[in-house]
Chains A and B, each alone.
Chain A
Amino acid sequence: MDHPPDDLELEGIELDLFVEAMRRRHGYDFGQYAPASLLRRVRQLAQHHGDGAISALTHRLLHEPALLPQLLEGLSVPASDMFRDPSVFRALREQVLPRLASWPQLTIWQAGCAHGEEVYSLAILLEEAGLYERSQIFATDLSTHALERAREGIYPLRSAQQWSRNYLAAGGRRSLADYYSARYGLLKLDGRLRRHVTFAQHNLVADAVFCEAQLVLGRNVLIYFANPLQQRSLALFRDSLVRGGFLCLGLRERPGPVEADFAPVDAGLRIYRRIGPVASERRP
């Protein structure tokens, strides 16, 4: 550098060192995350766990392994809402589930499930369509803390009003209150909704295909990734799907490099159907 670095440049170096320390100390590679949103999150963690200096956070990352789950939670998919983007859940209910009904067993992968809001939404859809008994949902996230929260299914009660509106806008014909109990300002979802859900850690950076699914949901996960990791994740989604299986992305995400392997079901809502030869059929 031909001039002394200013504080932004120094922070850039600190971020690189944090990413390097995370990779070498704990094996998690955030080097392919979108830098702008990663920097925001690391800054917030540095504020929360110290004086705001990323280098101080890196020191703790290296020497306090117990801190890792909290850091991973702060760096992974943020909380969502039940039936977020109700039009998407309405389309799943009206256009996707009736077609899924032709399979005797349903495997569903929800990638980046965070605190599980959309997992339970999906379970409710399947329950109401009479498909849940033959369904198995794999809900995965990078963060084990997030997965614990998701497994609990407990949320602030103040969310209930918006979520109830979302449920109805998504075509729900009952009341969302049928699925939860409220107490002490908290909303606890009916544990029965969890009976066919497996919560498991999965890292889109490093892990491979682990199931053959009829439906894959990866909503608002790709936006945090730079292009190569987006492409890897999309290929994973594609290769996890059986022929005729469905893919649902976030409303502002695009299938890009795997677009040719899919036919749009509702392109505006980012719902696609797998076409052409699929990975499982190519295997010897």
Chain B
Amino acid sequence: MTRPAAIVLGCSAGGPEALKTVLGGLDQHLSQAVLVCCHTGSETVELLCELLARASRLPVIEAAEREAVRGGTVQVAPAGYHLLVEGDLHFTLSTDPRVNLARPSIDVLFASAAAAWRHALVGVVLSGANADGAGGLRELRRLGGCAIVQSPDSALASAMPQAALDRAGADHCVPLDAIAPLLNQLCLP
């Protein structure tokens, strides 16, 4: 199997807690880009980035439009915008209508990332109370990417991982604590 070039993570309710666990367990030598889409409902992701930076050994920044995707860095979708990845691995933002009542939408990020990285992508769906992410994970798998879903019974809100399992299936369905070790194993040389 090819080593992935990027990891995309999606979550909503219970997401920040789950992200802390996952990012906290990622190896600091990881060279992959780590992209995060978390529904927060707040006006900015400044606090979320701070919270995640305290837990993560990789630097955490807000993804900025037209910037190149950075390896070894966690990049968080800004509040109020869809985050997309271009084929040339730059970010594009969009204020197009909400998808699954969400902007940023996990489906939008996952689908564009899947087109950009194809089989060199790992998608992770974590805790959340709606079905966003299921369609994107399905597209990611269709294009050869690897899907990890947090086991619903280990999630604070199980609807999102359950919807992902129902609609996309998963290559790995594991408890929250097992996700970071699995990512390290898939991503480290």
Contact = CB atoms under 8 A, between A and B. Distances in A.
A78 B84 contact: no
Interface stretch (B2-10, B91-99, B154-162, B171-179): B91-99
A253 B65 contact: yes
A40 B86 contact: no
A79 interface: yes
A250 B118 CA distance: 31
B84 A36 contact: yes
A87 B115 CA distance: 36
B64 A252 contact: yes
Contacts of A36: 84-87, 92, 112, 115
Contacts of B143: 8
B54 interface: no
B108 interface: yes
Nearest to B82: A37
A101 B159 CA distance: 53
Contact of B94 (A80, A223, A251): A223
B136 interface: no
Contacts of A37: 82, 84, 92, 94, 96
B36 to A, nearest CB: 16
B97 A79 contact: yes
Interface residues of B, number: 23
Contacts of A165: none
Nearest to B81: A252
B92 A34 contact: yes
Interface string A76-88: 0111100001010
Most B CB contacts (10 A, CB to CB) among A36, A85, A220 go to: A36
Contacts, number: 56
Nearest to A169: B43
A239 B118 CA distance: 42
A3 B39 CA distance: 40
A223 B65 contact: yes
Interface string B118-146: 10000000000000000000000001000
Contacts of B80: 85, 251
A161 B174 CA distance: 42
Nearest to B88: A35
Interface string B92-111: 11111100000000001000
A230 B81 contact: no
A49 interface: no
Given A36-B112, A252-B64, A78 B96 contact: yes
A223 B78 contact: no
A78 B99 CA distance: 13
A188 interface: no
A252 B78 contact: yes
B115 A252 contact: no
A32 interface: no
Contact of B66 (A40, A78, A230): A230
Contacts of B115: 8, 36
A120 B102 CA distance: 26
A251 B143 CA distance: 33
B82 to A, nearest CB: 8
> Most A CB atoms within 10 A — which of B65, B82, B108, B115?
B65
A223 B97 contact: no
A253 B93 CA distance: 9
Given A36-B112, A252-B65, A223 B87 contact: no
A85 B81 CA distance: 12
A227 interface: yes
Contact of A224 (B85, B86, B94, B118): B94
A41 interface: yes
20 contacts: A8-B143, A35-B86, A36-B86, A36-B87, A36-B115, A37-B82, A37-B84, A37-B92, A37-B94, A40-B94, A40-B96, A77-B95, A78-B95, A78-B96, A80-B95, A87-B43, A224-B94, A227-B66, A252-B65, A254-B64
Interface of A: 8, 34-37, 40-41, 77-80, 85, 87, 220, 223-224, 227, 230, 250-254
In the A-B complex, the 8 residue pairs with the smallest Cβ-Cβ separation, listed nearest first, are: A36-B84, A34-B92, A37-B94, A223-B93, A220-B95, A36-B92, A36-B86, A36-B112
